């Protein structure tokens, strides 16, 4: 092992010796102390290895005896050094390019915002830029925790801010505050929050507009905040000098009613799902000056089913623009599940119940519930509908809209 290492360090030249009696040259070389090994006979001569220090002497012996000596291969440190010197410009350029990539990767070039619904995206980006997070910003010039705290102070609509930096991209994740509905303090009506059939009306202030047994629609006035003065039966024959105007009050009361909810659920007797197996393969390519360089090749990408995801980044460097392409394949496997009719019915009922609870909410006084099977025996899908009848308070305050003339 040590001799092999020393030979590599000194340099090895593999040669092909051609002539009538190549053994003569080998004997002459060995007698003069030239180290030769890995001697193999070929069709047109002999292949052998010789140290680079003994190659010139072996070449002289071949010339003196009219033998042909051809260099087949060169190995070892001296030849690598020579190759490195010949391609010095390439290696220096590669080092500069890698250093430039590393340097440019320490800047923020892309900013994305997620989680916002009411707060404008541009406001969030401008606020982040105010505290040092903007395209082209060096990553070492700001503290993420300080920027997050400053953005929370300046944007009162936000309850949470998180800045996550991956490579050259900054992801700003926000959560908006949920403000409670403003309490109505002025004149208002009591209206129906949903469609129902009235069971009981209790008026504390205002005038009732409905009675038990009446079907009402959503938004219909149940207790009016417009109160007309009661006529005095003893003054009916007296001529009224001026007609009294109605007064506006804040209607208050409770209206109990019957409300119906329906939930739907279904389940197939045979289902197919595509699931990720966990196997994946990826490749990375660089595009520089119109040339494409493969940095990483995909090992396995011939999956039967797969999800292909391709990402592209453009980085500006002192040497020009560089595009980085990353392609990832994730293997998928088909999972087939078979259910009996009883199992499918049970799962459909669970889905229908979940759908019903989403519409109905909790803490409702249920007085009746029904289940209805919508599918036929030959159907491949089991469909179920659940119906529930409840008694609940449907009263909701709604401000009275007063026009410019007081109407």
Look-up of token digits 């390519």: 285
Residues 174-226 have pLDDT tens digits of 888 766 555 667 889 999 999 999 999 998 888 999 999 999 999 999 999 88
d(CA 77, CA 58): 21
Question: What is the pLDDT, as a whole number, of residue 405?
Answer: 45
In the chain, the percentage of residues whose pLDDT exceeds 90 is 15
Query: Per-residue pLDDT tens for 315-330?
Result: 776 666 778 888 888 8
Structure confidence at residue 196 (pLDDT) = 92
- Across the range 53-64, mean pLDDT stands at 80
3-state secondary structure of 190: strand
**Residue spans in the chain of domains classed CATH 3.10.20.310:** 107-176
Contact 237, 258 (CB under 8 A): no
Q: For residue range 253-264, what is the model confidence (pLDDT) as tens digits?
A: 889 999 999 999
pLDDT digits (tens, 9 = 90+) for 117-154: 888 888 898 888 888 888 888 888 888 888 888 888 88
Just give the CATH number of 2-83: 3.30.70.260
Residue 103: CB partners within 8 Å, gap ≥ 6?
A: none
107-176 CATH pick, 3.40.50.1010, 3.40.50.300, 3.90.1150.10, 3.10.20.310: 3.10.20.310
Q: Where in the chain is the domain with CATH 3.30.70.260?
A: 2-83
Instruction: Tell me the two tokens of residue 406.
Output: 């007081």
Centre a 10 Å sphere on the Cβ of residue 198 and count the other Cβ atoms it contains: 20
Q: CA angle at residue 186 from 181 to 190, to 5 degrees? A: 70
């Amino acid at each position: 092992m040590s001799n092999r290492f020393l030979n590599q360090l000194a340099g090895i030249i593999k040669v092909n010796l051609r002539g009538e009696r190549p053994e003569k040259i080998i004997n002459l070389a060995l007698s003069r102390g030239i180290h030769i090994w890995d001697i193999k006979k070929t069709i047109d001569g002999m292949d052998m290895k010789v140290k680079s220090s003994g190659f010139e002497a072996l070449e002289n012996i071949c010339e003196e005896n009219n033998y042909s000596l051809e260099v087949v291969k060169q190995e070892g440190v001296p030849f690598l050094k020579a190759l490195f010197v010949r391609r010095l410009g390439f290696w220096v350029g590669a080092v500069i390019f890698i250093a430039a990539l590393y340097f440019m990767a320490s800047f923020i070039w892309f900013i994305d915002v997620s989680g916002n619904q009411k707060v404008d995206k541009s406001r969030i980006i401008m606020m982040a830029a105010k505290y040092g997070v903007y395209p082209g910003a060096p990553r070492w010039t700001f503290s993420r925790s300080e920027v997050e705290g400053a953005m929370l102070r300046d944007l009162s609509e936000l309850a949470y801010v998180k800045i996550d930096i991956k490579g050259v991209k900054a992801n700003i994740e926000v959560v908006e505050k949920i403000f409670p509905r403003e309490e109505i303090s002025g004149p208002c009506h009591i209206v129906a929050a949903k469609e129902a059939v009235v069971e009981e009306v209790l008026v504390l202030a205002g005038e009732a507009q409905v009675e038990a047994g009446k079907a009402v629609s959503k938004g219909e006035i149940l207790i009016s905040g417009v109160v007309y003065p009661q006529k005095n039966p003893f003054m009916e024959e007296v001529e009224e000098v001026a007609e009294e105007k109605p007064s506006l009050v804040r209607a208050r009361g409770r209206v109990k009613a019957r409300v119906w909810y329906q939930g739907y659920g279904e389940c197939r007797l045979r289902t197919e799902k595509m699931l990720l197996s966990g196997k994946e393969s990826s490749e990375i390519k660089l595009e520089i000056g119109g040339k494409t360089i493969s940095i990483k090749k995909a090992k396995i990408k011939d999956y039967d089913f797969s999800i292909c995801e391709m990402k592209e980044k453009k980085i500006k460097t002192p040497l020009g623009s560089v595009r980085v392409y990353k392609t990832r394949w994730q293997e998928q496997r088909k999972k087939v599940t078979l259910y009996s009719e009883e199992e499918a019915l049970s799962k459909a009922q669970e889905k229908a119940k979940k759908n019903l609870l989403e519409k109905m909410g909790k803490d409702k006084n249920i007085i009746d519930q029904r289940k209805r099977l919508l599918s036929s025996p030959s159907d491949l899908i089991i469909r179920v509908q659940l119906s529930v009848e409840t008694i609940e308070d449907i009263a909701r305050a709604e401000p009275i809209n007063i026009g410019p003339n007081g109407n």
